[in-house]
Every structure is written in structure tokens, then in C-alpha cells.
Structure 1
Amino acid sequence: MTQSFDEALRCFAPALPLAVGLSGGADSTALLLACAARWPGQVQAIHVHHGLQAAADGFERHCTALCARLQVPLQVQRVDARHAPGQSPEEAARHARYRAFEAAAQDRKAPATIQSIALAQHADDQVETLLLALSRGAGVAGLAAMPMQWARAGLQWHRPLLRVPGAAVRDWLRARGEAWVEDPTNQDQRYTRNRIRAQLLPALQATFPQFRDTFARSSQHAAHADALLQEIAQQDLAAVGVPPAIGALRALGTARQANVLRYWLRQTHQTTPGTAQLHALQHQLAACATRGHRIELKVGRGFVVRQGELLGFVEALTAPSL
């Protein structure tokens, strides 16, 4: 399942014009070089300037020089990637990047209407994502890790290097005499992902040399299981209604009830309950045998409340105090 860099690019067939997310690091530099050579005149680059470190201006200069040499149009998106209380810096930066990519794709001043966006995460990034999910006790959605292709905001998104080891990407660049910039935060051991990269991946390589392939298969199995759970949740939500009827929810088994509640909250109210919150909500539903039983429970970013024979959801700012 692991691929060489050239093999991965041969298998990559995006809708054109294509934009490449260009950080200036080895992975995105290699991806842009390969795509620009394969589809001349059909490729753009998007650089997100996070403004979180002094080296950020150097990243932008590298991207500007590279794109000028390749004659590839470059959009620079400056974002505020500071994290909110309770939010990880990595999560805040990731959300800021996606918003920036979408804004760049919708920019009417762009040379051509972008149809696809390619991101440069590789096989080692996928393993790190899976290990992080395991460390957090994630369910199948988290264990599915990163998809190779998906649709969002009217765009097709791709990760064509997801089966290519990180070392193979750098070898491809070195063979062509190409330079890239190194993010100094990649060496910061305060970040869990960096500790995984520095300590766990070498140990896995020594103990299980095929770990990239086997981990990828496990993530694929988890993705299939998650897709099945989504289908069941859609069917169950159609049956219990929106907002859900308490009686119909109580008639479901524990696992299906949890599945449809999680799906309802995420799809309808854009919030995800924690495991303890979901268990507490199911406990309240089990006890909800009389008309007088109240439900008013903090879940995600708001409150699940009883509204007659239905479950409702209100934002935290508008919910009554408990």
C-alpha cells in the first residue's frame, strides 16, 4: 500500500484548475513542483501566513521565490491562528488554514476558478494522526484518521501523498537539488505530535517495519465502519424526527441511541458531545418515563433540554442557568 512519490503523483487525477497548499516545507514544496510540472498553467499555490512565529516571514519569502521561478500564481492568506481557551494550538491553526484555503478559492481576482485543492500530508502524518486519536480514546471517526479525498465548500480536496513515507518525499527533493524551509516548531517536544515523530516512529520502524501499511489498513477499516454508522444514524434520525421524539429515542438500543444522538447534535447543531456528556444524556433519557421529568444538560457548546415530548438544543448563552 505504501507508494513512491512518483507513483502517488501518477495516480493523482484532480479536477483542474488545481491549488496546492504551500507552507514552504519539504512536503508541500515537492507537491507543488510535481503538480506544476505535470499540469503547466493549471496550477496555483496558496500560502497561509499564520503570524505565530518569527520564521513565518521566511516561509512566505521561500514560497514567493519558488512560485516566481515556476511561474505559478501565488495567493498569500494572512490569518489569526491564536487558539481560544480550551482549544489546542494545532486545532486552531488547522481551522484557520481551511478557512483561508476556502477564501482563496472563492477569490474572484484569482487567475482561474479553483476546482480542487491538494494538501501535502504524507504516510507518517497519517500514522501520527492515528496515534493521537488512540491516545485520546477516539471512536471510529477519529481512528479513520485523514481521508485521501473529500468534498467541502464546493471544492474537491485531495491528499495525494498520504501513502508516501516522509523520507521518500525528502529524497525526491534532494535528488532534484531542491531546497525547502524547516519549521523550527517541528523540533519542539512540548507538542505531542513532535514527540510521536521523534520517539515513537523510530521505535515502530524498528519493531514493525510495515507499520505504515498495517496502520493504514486499520484506518481504512475504521473509515468503513464510520460510514456505516453514518448511514444508520441518518435512517434513525429520519425515524425519530428533528427535533428527536423522546419516546422514539427510548425505543432504540443503547448503541443506536448514542449514535443517533451524536449525529443529531453534530449535523443539526454543529456540536459534538463528550463521552461523559453523552452517557449522562442517555441516563436522563432512561429516567424520562413521566411528563414531569426535566432534562437540562450541558452538551458540547450548549444545552440539551426537554421540550414537551421532544429533545431540544439551545446555545449556552441563551440557556437557563442550572
Structure 2
Amino acid sequence: MVQTVVDAVRVFAPKLPFTVAFSGGADSTALLLACAERWPGQVQAVHIHHGLQAAADDFVRHCEGFCAGLQVPLQVLHVHAQPAPGESPEDAARKARYKAFKALALIPSAQEAIKTIVLAQHADDQVETLLLALSRGAGLPGLACMPAAWVRDGIQYHRPLLGVHADHIRDWLAQRGVAYVTDPTNADPRFTRNRIRAQLLPVLQATFPAFRETFARSAAHAAQAQTVLAEVAALDLATVGNPPILAALQALSYARQANVLRHWLTGTHGTTPSTAQLQQLQHQIAACTTRGHTIHIKVGAGFAVRRGVLLDWYNPKALPTAAATPAKPG
């Protein structure tokens, strides 16, 4: 069912008070306006100044004026969002935002509202995320797309507009006569999301008018399946051990072994293996039938190694030189 902004906020039940992440663009403007009208005096806003374009200071001034009109407190946070070599500007900006939110929430005098942050991603954003995941050959975690609610660094995040179309948001603002800023980078074809928005979404709309709802349903199915796999992986990790016993890993089916290895690497070591790396690791595990067989291969940001009867993992950049040398098989 297609939602309006008002419908989405009406069924939204956040812990009060809370903070809206406010860029000044159409989506966050609609979200902040609807929330401020429903919960007057219970909403504040936070604006992230990324420092990446000349218009950023103008965005701040717009946000200050808009929040003053709503009588909504506004905090402006300045972040360093320059991408590292090989990192996309979008990823760098996203990481900088979450880092800023975390730092804000850790301030001893932080208001209770900072513990709940509401974001304005909508149905079209969800479709773009799914298409990007498919283009990368992502597994279930990627196909599950953006969750409507989750906890990160002790902060509760919500996305109440995931069922609302982008066009509906802009139409609602136009009906209200509400102005918003337009980020010039949103029209830059160098960014994949912009090409999807400008070239693919119109074709999908013409061919499959209900694609936003059906894509969202597929993402929800993927998220549910991933939840089950995570539960199975947690049970299997308790059986094979942490770090895992090689013989116990060999007793699992290939798919279940891959599932628990991903769970162990991401959950314990915070690293994500590529499909090729995981396949190579599983090949080495299967071949590890003698005391003399060694394992020392690149997996994620470090190396998977054999240490006696165990499979271990380490990041040489995070360890002293002596500790970074893998133990001999035993």
C-alpha cells in the first residue's frame, strides 16, 4: 500500500523526544515538518555540514531559518567527509554522519532526544539500494536493503518514510508551499544512484507501476531469510567454537560452513570476505586433513591462518610485528 507522508508519520511510534537528521532537502524537510506538527516540543533536528561543496553554508542558513519557523532546536555538526583512496564520496559521507551521531550521543550532557534519530530515506531510495546490491552480486544482507529500524552504537535509528514515494513527498511539500534546498550533486551523472534515479526508475515505472512495493516486499523476504541464517550461524558457531575447530567446520555442509564462517569473520573480527576469498578458504579447510597442511590466505582485511587444530584470523596492521607471524601447524 502506498503511503503518504502524513500516513507514515501517523503510524510511526518513536520514543519521545527524538532527533530528525535534517539536510534541508525535500525528504528530510517533509519528515521534520510532519513530525514537528504531530509532536510539538518533542522534536529537534541535527544538520551535518560535510564541507564538500560551496553551497554547504547556504544549506545551514536555510536549515536554521526553517527550524526557527517551526520552533525546533537545531544542532549543526561539522564533519570531515573527504573520501579515502578507492572510497566513494557517498560511503565517506555516510560514515562521517554516523561517526558524528555517535560522538554527539556520547557527550555526557547529551539530551535524551539524541538517543533516537530519525532518517528520511523513502521508497525510491530503497529501490536504488536494491538495484545497487543486485549490480554487485550481493547476498541476502545486501538484498535486505535498508531496515526500517535498528540500533547502532547505542542509538535507535528509524526510517518511517520507506513506504512513501519520492514524488508524493515533493507533491505534499508543494501543496503546503514549503521550500527546500536542492543538492546540485543529486544531478551529477558520475554517481551511480543518480543514473539509476534518472534513467532506470522511469523505465521501471512505465513497465512495472507497482515496482516500489514489490521490490520492498522482496527486500523484506531477504531480510527475514537473513535473520534465520544469522540464528543458525550463531548456533553453529557455538558448536564449532570461536575460533573454530577445523574438524568441526569440516563436519558441516558446504553452505552451512560458509554461513558460519561469514558470521564468525564479521561478528568476531569485523571483516567481510569476498565470495572468491570465502570459496578459497573453504577449499583450504576441506584439504586440511594432515598436520602439515598450512592455511595462510587473504580474507577480508586480514589473513585466515591455521593454528594447530584451529582456524584463526588476524590483521597484520593491527598487531605487533612478532604477533603477526602465523604459528606453525601442530
TM-score class, shorter: over 0.9
**2:19 aligned residue:** 19
**2:51 aligned residue:** 51
Distance in 1 of aligned mates of 2:60 and 2:20:
14
Amino acid at match of 1:161: L
1:85 offset after TM fit, Å?
2.1
- The answer on whether the counterparts of 1:205 and 1:211 sit within 8 Å (CA) in structure 2 is yes
SS of structure 2 residue aligned to 1:178: coil
Amino acid at match of 2:201: L
Distance in 2 of aligned mates of 1:5 and 1:67:
19
Distance in 2 of aligned mates of 1:107 and 1:24:
25
- The answer on whether the counterparts of 1:233 and 1:260 sit within 8 Å (CA) in structure 2 is yes
Could you report, residue by residue, the CA deviation over 1:168-188 in whole angstroms, capped at 9, with x for unpaired residues? 111111111110000000000
Distance in 2 of aligned mates of 1:249 and 1:53:
50
1:320 offset after TM fit, Å?
4.2
- The answer on whether the counterparts of 1:116 and 1:155 sit within 8 Å (CA) in structure 2 is yes
Alignment of 1:224-235 (within 5 A): 224-235=224-235
Could you report, residue by residue, the CA deviation over 1:272-301 in whole angstroms, capped at 9, with x for unpaired residues? 001111011001101101111111111111
Amino acid at match of 2:163: R
**2:298 aligned residue:** 298
**1:281 aligned residue:** 281
Distance in 2 of aligned mates of 1:179 and 1:143:
34
- The answer on whether the counterparts of 2:43 and 2:113 sit within 8 Å (CA) in structure 1 is no
Q: Does 1:62 align with 2:62?
A: yes
1:108 offset after TM fit, Å?
4.0
Amino acid at match of 2:134: L
1:110 offset after TM fit, Å?
4.4
**1:35 aligned residue:** 35
SS of structure 2 residue aligned to 1:298: strand
Q: Does 1:82 align with 2:82?
A: yes
Could you report, residue by residue, the CA deviation over 1:203-244 in whole angstroms, capped at 9, with x for unpaired residues? 000000000111011001100110011001000000001111
Distance in 1 of aligned mates of 2:103 and 2:42:
19
- The answer on whether the counterparts of 2:26 and 2:169 sit within 8 Å (CA) in structure 1 is yes
**1:215 aligned residue:** 215
- The answer on whether the counterparts of 1:46 and 1:104 sit within 8 Å (CA) in structure 2 is no
Distance in 2 of aligned mates of 1:308 and 1:98:
40
Could you report, residue by residue, the CA deviation over 1:151-182 in whole angstroms, capped at 9, with x for unpaired residues? 22222211000000001111111111110000
Q: Does 1:259 align with 2:265?
A: no
- The answer on whether the counterparts of 1:75 and 1:104 sit within 8 Å (CA) in structure 2 is no
- The answer on whether the counterparts of 1:25 and 1:182 sit within 8 Å (CA) in structure 2 is yes
Amino acid at match of 1:210: A
Could you report, residue by residue, the CA deviation over 1:58-115 in whole angstroms, capped at 9, with x for unpaired residues? 1111111111111211111111111222322211111111111222233344454433
Unaligned runs of 5+ in 2: none
Amino acid at match of 2:175: A
Distance in 2 of aligned mates of 1:241 and 1:250:
13
Alignment of 1:112-131 (within 5 A): 112-131=112-131
Equivalences, count: 321
- The answer on whether the counterparts of 1:301 and 1:316 sit within 8 Å (CA) in structure 2 is no
Distance in 1 of aligned mates of 2:107 and 2:16:
16
Identity percentage of aligned residues: 65
1:311 offset after TM fit, Å?
1.0
**1:147 aligned residue:** 147
Given the superposition, is the C-alpha separation of residues 62 and 108 from structure 1 closer, same or farther in structure 2, using an over 3 Å criterion?
Answer: farther
Distance in 2 of aligned mates of 1:105 and 1:231:
30
Distance in 1 of aligned mates of 2:61 and 2:237:
50
Q: After superposing the two structures, state which structure 1 stretch, 102-111 or 196-205, moved more.
A: 102-111
Distance in 1 of aligned mates of 2:301 and 2:95:
17
Distance in 2 of aligned mates of 1:102 and 1:152:
8
After TM superposition, the score normalised by the length of structure 2 is 0.94
Given the superposition, is the C-alpha separation of residues 171 and 108 from structure 1 closer, same or farther in structure 2, using an over 3 Å criterion?
Answer: farther
SS of structure 1 residue aligned to 2:114: coil
Given the superposition, is the C-alpha separation of residues 106 and 16 from structure 1 closer, same or farther in structure 2, using an over 3 Å criterion?
Answer: farther
Distance in 1 of aligned mates of 2:113 and 2:193:
35
The RMSD of aligned alpha carbons is 1.3
